[in-house]
Amino acid sequence: MTNMILLVEDSEDDVFLFERAMMKARVSLPVYHARDGQEALDYLQAGGKFVDRKAFPLPSLIFLDLKIPLVHGFEVLRWVRSQPSFNHTPVVMLTASLEDKDRGRALQMGADEYLIKPPTQESLSRVFENGSVKIFPRQKGNALI
**Contacts with another protein, residue ranges (CB under 8 A):** 11, 13-14, 16-17, 20, 66-67, 95-99, 117-118
CA proximity to 8, closest of 104, 107, 89:
89
Q: Give the nearer residue to another protein in terms of CB position, either 16 or 30.
A: 16
**Nearest distance from C-beta of residue 119 to another protein, angstroms:** 10
Q: Give the nearer residue to another protein in terms of CB position, either 87 or 120.
A: 120
Q: Give the nearer residue to another protein in terms of CB position, either 64 or 117.
A: 117
Question: CB–CB of 34/40 below 8 Å?
Answer: yes
**Nearest distance from C-beta of residue 121 to another protein, angstroms:** 12
Half-sphere exposure of 80 (CA within 13 A, CB side): 35
Buried residues in 48-76 as b, exposed as e (16+ CB within 10 A): eebeeeeebbebbbbbbbbebeebebbeb
Question: CB–CB of 98/115 below 8 Å?
Answer: no
Q: How far apart are CA 112 and CA 80, in angstroms?
A: 12
Q: How far apart are CA 42 and CA 117, in angstroms?
A: 25
**Nearest distance from C-beta of residue 114 to another protein, angstroms:** 14
**Nearest distance from C-beta of residue 27 to another protein, angstroms:** 17
Q: Give the nearer residue to another protein in terms of CB position, either 17 or 58.
A: 17
**Nearest distance from C-beta of residue 145 to another protein, angstroms:** 37
Q: Give the nearer residue to another protein in terms of CB position, either 117 or 124.
A: 117
